[in-house]
Structures are given as C-alpha cells and as structure tokens.
C-alpha cells in the first residue's frame, strides 16, 4: 500500500477526496498494478528503508514508511496546506488526543529531521517543489487537522506564529516552580491570548463543556484571554470577523 492508502493506515489527516481510492504500488522494474477500482503506481524505492510491515489483527501488509508516504502524497494534487496538515499528523504529541496508538505504534511517527531527509531524497519527483514549500511549515504537537489549518492560515495572513499546544502555567509555589498547568491549542505568548479549536463534542457533551469553561476561568485568572472557535471560522465572512477580532486583541495586549 502507498500514497493515500498508506496515509490512512498511518492515521494521517487527508482531505476527504483523497481517501476515495485504494492505492497500490509495485517496486520498479515491476509492472504497475492494474486492478479495477485501484490506483496503481510503479515506484523507485529501497525496500530496506522505504517499506515496512504493519499488522492489523491477524493480518499484515506491506506499506510505505511514514516519511515516504508523505513525500508520495505530493504527486496526488494536494495543496501545500493539505501537505502541511498531513505532515503534522506524523508529528503529533504522544500524550495528545488519540496519540496513544497509530497503526499499533506510538506518536510521533516521524520527526522534522527525518521528513527533511525524505524530501531531500525525493528530489526530482512529481511535487518535489511543493514538498520543499510545505516542509518549513510543519510543526510538532498538533492535535487535529483544524488546529494546523488555523495556524497556517493565520501565519499566511500576517499574524505572528502561535505556539502549538504549549502548557500554560496556572499555579506556582513560593519559589516560582510550576505546580499546575494546562495545554492550549494555539498560544500567542507575548499577548497571553489562547486559541481553542472546539469540535462538536465540546458543545454536545455537558461534562466536556463544563471542563472547558473551568479551564477558561483558570486561564483568565492568570491573565490569559481565551478565544474559542469551531469549523465555521473558515467561512469567508466568519474568517474576516475572526481576524479582525484577533488583531484587536493582539494589538491591545501587546502581541501584534
């Protein structure tokens, strides 16, 4: 398995349209797979370093490594933002939501250094320039594709780059040692402004909603302003309003 199918096996975040076909590859000089409903590829790859075996239940299958999978995605017509989102999925924090298991392995599945090596080795392949544009924008510790898209679009709009899922201190002892902290999705430290991207479960589950409200109150007690957004923020009108609000906050609080 390769391309989008391998990406799904690794739990990478992809646009829905990229997940609709099964992708299988043969190593050159083998012939391209020709199976109804399957996207077949012929690839140049060192099986010792570019392929691995994954097990699901009592079955196993050969799949391209996370790094090779990411570079192969560049040939599928994905945008730069899509590639950044897919790459961030390989760099998730181990203690994040859904971070405990990925294809039977621990997150993070790769590193910035290893992905950089993969891009260098992919020189000349379809989409290589796009990989080079996406690589500098990959960040560790993202918890969701929406978090990554929000960060990328804010930076593209000229905002300072926020920290990704940092721990914000809430309680200190008499010697200034941190006793308790809480993670926030994106954080503008200079302005003490936190962005929280909320999925539907944050509003539909009473316990989660109360937990979020308590977290926001604790952050406010230490001078941190929380801005909560959901997927509607990416709509044209909502995006403009959100950017204007965020700009006012950062300017007022000294982080613009």
Classify the phi-psi angles of 141: left when phi > 0, otherwise alpha if psi is within -120 to 50, otherwise beta. left
Q: What backbone torsions phi and psi does residue 163 show, to the nearest 5 degrees?
A: -70, 150
**Residue 16: its pLDDT value, please?**
86
The DSSP call for residue 47 is H
Res. 138: pLDDT tops 70: yes
Q: What are 95-118's pLDDT values in tens digits?
A: 877 665 666 788 999 999 999 999
Angle formed at CA 37 by CA 36 and CA 43, multiple of 5 degrees: 90
CB 63 within 8 A of CB 73: no
Res. 57: pLDDT tops 70: no
Nearest alpha carbon to residue 25 among 49, 48, 45: 45
Q: What are 149-193's pLDDT values in tens digits?
A: 999 999 999 999 999 999 999 989 899 899 999 999 999 999 999
Q: What are 188-215's pLDDT values in tens digits?
A: 999 999 999 987 554 456 677 788 889 9
Domains in the chain (CATH in brackets) are 3-139 (no CATH), 148-252 (3.40.960.10)
Question: How many helices (H) and strands (E) in the chain?
Answer: 10, 10
CB 77 within 8 A of CB 69: no
């Amino acid at each position: 398995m390769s391309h989008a199918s391998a990406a799904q096996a690794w739990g990478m975040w992809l646009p829905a349209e990229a997940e609709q076909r099964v992708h299988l590859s043969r190593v050159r000089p083998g012939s391209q797979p020709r199976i109804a409903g399957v996207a077949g590829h012929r690839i140049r790859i060192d099986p010792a370093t570019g392929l691995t075996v994954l097990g699901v239940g009592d079955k196993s299958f050969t799949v391209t490594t996370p790094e090779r999978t990411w570079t192969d995605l560049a040939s599928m017509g994905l945008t730069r933002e899509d590639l950044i989102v897919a790459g961030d999925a390989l760099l998730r924090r181990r203690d994040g939501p859904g971070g405990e298991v990925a294809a039977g392995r621990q997150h993070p599945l790769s590193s910035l250094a290893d992905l950089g090596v993969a891009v260098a080795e992919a020189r000349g392949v379809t989409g290589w320039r796009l990989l080079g544009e996406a690589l500098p924008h990959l960040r560790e510790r993202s918890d969701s594709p929406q978090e990554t898209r929000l960060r990328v679009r804010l930076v593209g709009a000229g905002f300072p780059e926020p920290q990704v899922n940092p721990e914000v201190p809430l309680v200190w002892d008499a010697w200034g040692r941190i006793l308790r902290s809480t993670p926030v999705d994106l954080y503008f430290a200079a302005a003490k402004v936190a962005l929280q991207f909320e999925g539907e479960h944050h509003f539909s589950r009473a316990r989660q909603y109360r937990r979020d409200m308590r977290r926001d109150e604790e952050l406010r007690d230490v001078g941190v302003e929380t801005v909560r957004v959901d997927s509607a923020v990416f709509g044209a009108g909502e995006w403009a309003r959100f950017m204007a609000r965020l700009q006012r906050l950062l300017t007022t609080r000294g982080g613009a």
